[in-house]
Amino acid sequence: MTDLTHTVTLHTNERTDMTNILVVLSGSDHWTLADGTKHPSGYWAEEFVVPHKTFREAGFDVTIATPGGVTPTVDKASLTPEMNGGDQGRAEELRDYIDSLRGELDSTMRLEDVNPGDFDGLFIPGGHGPMEDLAVSEALGVLLVGMLDSGKVVSGVCHGPSGLFAAKRADGSWAFAGYRLTGFTNVEEDQVGFADKAQWLLETRLREEGAEFASGAPWAPYVVTDRNLVTGQNPASSEPIARQLVDMLSASA
């Protein structure tokens, strides 16, 4: 259950001796397809729950932020047994963990109010939601550039790296051009049936923007670290990317 004292600490925005990590969730409940259809979406449960739990178990102070401070929507598909290896128990565990954080999720920090100096790292879970709002969030872009340039850890998994598109410098250049990274691949998007429906594909656009895109086998864990940027390819990468972040942030504490 949510601890009231901890919740207050989250929103005082004051530095403590703890490692502070910001988890940026999409605030969108849909993803607009090429034909204008609004496909129900949001954040992907596993990609939020597994890292969040890993950060908390490592003793990190975790703050959740969304554009406008809206309550984030979990993609209902991510809570089905079919999307969790046919494991009903696993799906229920994810749902129960999210329910245990209801107080925090209903009172997320406004992304627009985040001071990058208050956090040691930033993590963006996926789901198709980030492609709708985080990819074009000016507030996230400013935050990402500030944290990247100050050497703080910036990370995202699956479709989460779509949020990196917002990181434009004053001259219009993309802050992550030339970085080696990964994300949900065109092959994986095709296998879930959206490659021919999307307005744009994450892998394709990352390459077009100037990233050095790398990938592993479809649906297998794959994490790429380049300087202070850490990215994961898909839901299976949720645990290894979280552990990589814990190692990096603990080493720099």
Q: What is the dihedral of CA 206, 174, 236, 58, to 10 degrees?
A: 170
d(CA 21, CA 216): 27
DSSP letter assigned to residue 195 = T
Q: Which residues contact residue 113 at a Cβ distance below 8 angstroms, ignoring those fewer than 6 apart?
A: 69
Alpha carbon distance, N-terminus to C-terminus of the chain = 28
Instruction: Identify the pLDDT of residue 253.
Output: 74
Give the H/E segment covering residue 180: strand 180-181
Among 166, 165, 153, residue whose Cα is nearest residue 123? 153
> How confident is the prediction for the chain on average, in pLDDT?
93
Instruction: Identify the pLDDT of residue 204.
Output: 98
**What's the token pair of residue 56?**
């908390």
The alpha carbon of residue 147 and the mean position of all alpha carbons in its chain are separated, in whole angstroms, by 15
Output 84-92 pairs: Cβ under 8 A, ≥24 positions apart.
84/46
Instruction: Identify the pLDDT of residue 19.
Output: 97
E strand spans, 53-148 = 61-66, 109-110, 121-124
Question: Is-contact 204 186, C-beta < 8 A?
Answer: yes
DSSP letter assigned to residue 201 = -
Instruction: Identify the pLDDT of residue 16.
Output: 52
Among 152, 172, 169, 160, residue whose Cα is nearest residue 245? 152
Which amino acid, residue 41? S
Would you call 163 helix, strand, or coil by DSSP?
helix
Beta bridge partners of 63: 22
Question: Is-contact 121 154, C-beta < 8 A?
Answer: yes
Mean pLDDT (10-residue bins), the chain, 253 residues: 33 62 98 98 98 98 98 98 95 98 98 96 98 98 97 98 97 98 98 98 98 98 98 98 97 83
